[in-house]
Amino acid sequence: MRNSLLRAVQTGRPWTSRLPIIGALFTALTLLSACSALRLGYSQAPELAYWWFDGYADFNRAQSPKVREALNDWFKWNRSTQLPDYAALLAKAEVQLASNVTPAQACQWFDDVNSRLDVALERALPSLADIVLTATPAQLQHLEKRFAKNNQELLSDYAQPNADDRLKAAVKRSVERAESLYGKLDGAQRERVTAAVINSPFDVELWADERKARQQDLLQTVRRLVGEKASGEQAQSAV
């Protein structure tokens, strides 16, 4: 079995390193751009993305049309310039998955995805910066509450008080991720996944603390930009 990739998927840690919500949002955008084309129809992706963003930002009447326009423009660009590249990357991965995946190949996949996320983010930065500069205190409070809710859900899913329960949950997640790539795992393969989880250095409490720190950094950055009446260029550099 592709043990190196099993090790890669078993921790469940995010690979984006930007400000916390920025990386997550553009991961979602890129996934939406691919999944919606296959399952929902690409024309629905901007609307889905809008409601996902709105769950965090709680857009007001002045912001909503600007956000919708920015999302429509982004998806139009993505559809015309990026989807062929995504398809080629998936085709390449499909070929590699037909044989044993090496650690170098698994790492390269993460690099390939990150490079595409960077392109997606750079394209959206001007519009994103303009919207960030219109954030209100009430919206930042809403975002902070949403972060707290998500953090609580994360700890509930990942940090069970009982060590055995935590291990079982981690193994279950890892098996599900592996089976989403390879199909049904047999008993021996499940044992390998379990061993990988047991030997993993992943520390959920440390991950949660780092996540909270990034969230606070984001909130402080946006508050500073708004308070200083920063320019669009300054906001782009900050986010």
SS3 33: helix
Residue 32 — very low, low, confident or very high, per pLDDT cuts 50/70/90? low
* Domain locations in the chain as residue ranges: 3-238
Counted residue by residue, the chain has a size of 239
Q: Tens digits of per-residue pLDDT, 140-161? A: 999 999 999 999 999 999 999 9
Residue 30 pLDDT greater than 60, yes or no: no
Which positions ≥6 away from 142 have C-beta within 8 Å? 56, 57, 58
Exposure on the CB side of residue 141, measured as CA atoms within 13 A = 3
Query: 98: which 2 tokens?
Result: 């037909």
> Distance between the two ends of the chain, CA-based, in angstroms?
40
Q: Tens digits of per-residue pLDDT, 176-217? A: 988 887 789 999 999 999 999 999 998 999 999 999 999 999
Give dist(CA 177, CA 103) in Å, integer. 17
Give dist(CA 205, CA 229) in Å, integer. 36
Instruction: Please classify residue 180 by burial: count the beta carbons closer than 10 Å to its beta carbon, then call 0-12 exposed, 13-18 middle and 19+ buried.
Output: exposed
Q: What angle do CA 9, 10, 15 make, to 5 degrees?
A: 50
| pTM score of the predicted model | 0.74
pLDDT at 15: 36
Q: Tens digits of per-residue pLDDT, 41-64? A: 567 889 989 999 999 999 999 999
Report for 6-20, 27-41, 72-86: range of highest mean pLDDT: 72-86
Which positions ≥6 away from 61 have C-beta within 8 Å? none
Query: 167: which 2 tokens?
Result: 């291990």
